[in-house]
Amino acid sequence: MYGIVRSTGASGTPWGRQVRQLLCLAQLVPLPQFLPPVEPPVFQCPRRPNLGREGRPIGLKANHFQISMPRGYVHHYDVNIQPDKCPRKVNRDY
């Protein structure tokens, strides 16, 4: 990343000479090719103020579960079923 410095403009003025000297010095110092890696901040969960025993325990159902499969192809299907006409009672429930 070294180059040639060409003076343009008023190079005879003190300001022009200073600019030219700074440009020469800047080109003598090799620039780093990459920045050092920056460590991302480590996330720490906030501590609970107590043991969390308020309320009552509930059962929780989730729509996902862990599976183990042999290596191979996995097929994923999206199915959208829309009946022609929905009964009125079903429409009121939602």
> How many domains is the chain partitioned into structurally?
1
Q: Assess if residue 75 is contained within a domain.
A: no
Mapping DSSP to helix (H, G, I), strand (E, B) and coil, where does residue 2 land? coil
Q: Assess if residue 19 is contained within a domain.
A: yes
Q: Assess if residue 56 is contained within a domain.
A: no
pLDDT at 59: 86
The share of the chain scoring above pLDDT 90, in percent, equals 0
Could you read off the pLDDT of 60-78 as tens digits, one per residue? 888 888 888 888 888 889 8
Q: Assess if residue 71 is contained within a domain.
A: no
- Flag the least confident range among 17-21, 50-54, 71-75: 50-54
| pLDDT surpassing 50 at residue 34 | yes
| pLDDT surpassing 50 at residue 17 | yes
Residue 4's domain spans which residues? 1-32
DSSP the chain: --------S-TTSHHHHHHHHHHHHHHHSPPPSSPPPPPPPPP-PPPPSS----S-------S-------SS-----------SS--HHHHHH-
Q: Assess if residue 14 is contained within a domain.
A: yes
Q: Assess if residue 11 is contained within a domain.
A: yes
pLDDT at 16: 75
The share of the chain scoring above pLDDT 70, in percent, equals 62
Q: Assess if residue 8 is contained within a domain.
A: yes
